[in-house]
Amino acid sequence: MAAADEIYRDMVIDILEHGVWDKDQTVRTVWADGTPAYTKSVICKQVTYDNTEVPILTTKRIPWKSAIHEMLWFYVKRTSDCSYLDQNKVVIWKEWTNKSNNIGKAYGYQLGKPIMVNGRITNQVHHLIDQLITNPASRRHVISLWDVDELDQMELYPCVWNNQWLVKEGKLHLIVSVRSNDIGLGNPFNVFQYYVLQRMVSQVTGHQLGTLTFNINDAHVYERHIDHLKEQITRESYPAPELWINPDIRSFDDFTINDFKLINYQYHPSIKMEIAI
């Protein structure tokens, strides 16, 4: 079994067997028909990928190009304007896009806004790259998408809200902090795209690829997803694919979707699940 499928199966089983329901609480999340979107969840779930193979599910199809597009929108375009997504026919943010066709001061906005570091104006992404090259041993390689003063100006509070990068013995490790993770839909997307981001940063900083760890504070499955997930985890997995990234790219902001190819990606059919809003 491919490692990502095995880790995912074990996580789903853990939630189904040991998770707690939120049915006795007021639930703000609803389905499109307006009924409460109840979840079963476990607290503080940690999963680690050794990155010896690409962590993408094969027990169902993951729209990998859309996952990379979203990550490029956040980290390379560094904007909350949805025009880039529209141009590339990525619709995953439609439920949270406002009348100005943006998501407020969330995600890419936080990565692109100017910050002052040692008298120099930069942004979080450029500062991270610079410090990983010039001061790799630091334990301060942190990116935060959670600005308390601007949360009320975001269309959606960040789910993946923080990440930290550590260089140990020449390997670049990434720890991703997630306040809330929809295991049926969001988690497979997030794991793959942060692996891609880690590969990109590793390439432009010259560090070898280390581990990828997700710390999920609330790992949950929605009630309407349970039967779909039970079906999915019974499927036999295929071998993990390979991810080609253009080796000629040396400047982080030069990456485009054309610099990625997922080779030999075999997968079972997609499983349609409702999105809670």
Known active-site residue 44: no
The answer on pLDDT for 273 being more than 80 is yes
pLDDT at residue 106 tops 80: yes
Mean pLDDT across the stretch 189-195?
98
Q: Check residue 134 and give its pLDDT.
A: 98
Q: Positive or negative, the Cα torsion across 16, 22, 28, 34?
A: positive
Q: Which CATH superfamily is domain 3-263 in?
A: Thymidylate synthase/dCMP hydroxymethylase domain (3.30.572.10)
Q: Answer whether residue 27 shows pLDDT above 90.
A: no
For residue 230, pLDDT beyond 90: yes
The pTM score is: 0.97
pLDDT value at 173 more than 80: yes
Q: Judge residue 93's burial from the number of C-beta atoms within 10 Å of its C-beta, 0-12 exposed, 13-18 middle, 19 or more buried.
A: buried
Please state, for a pLDDT cut of 90, what percent of the chain lies above it: 96
Q: Considering 159, 160, 178, 183, which one is annotated as catalytic?
A: 159
pLDDT for position 25: 81
Q: From CA 197, how far away is CA 191, in angstroms rounded? A: 10
- What pLDDT score does 83 carry? 98
Amino acid (1-letter code) at residue 66:
S
Residue 44 pLDDT class (50, 70, 90 cuts) = very high
- Taking alpha carbons only, the member of 198, 268, 192 closest to residue 237 is 268
1 has a pLDDT exceeding 80: no
Residue among 48, 79, 15, 29 at smallest CA distance from 176: 48
Average pLDDT across the chain, whole number: 97
The whole-number average pLDDT for the span 18-33 is 89
- Average of pLDDT values for 104-115? 98
For residue 218, name the pLDDT band (cuts at 50, 70, 90). Answer: very high
**Reported confidence tier of residue 109, pLDDT bands at 50, 70, 90:** very high
Confidence of residue 219 (pLDDT cuts 50, 70, 90): very high
Angle at alpha carbon of residue 262, lines to 257 and 267, rounded to 5°: 130
**Which residue carries 């995600």 as its tokens?**
107
pLDDT at position 76: 98
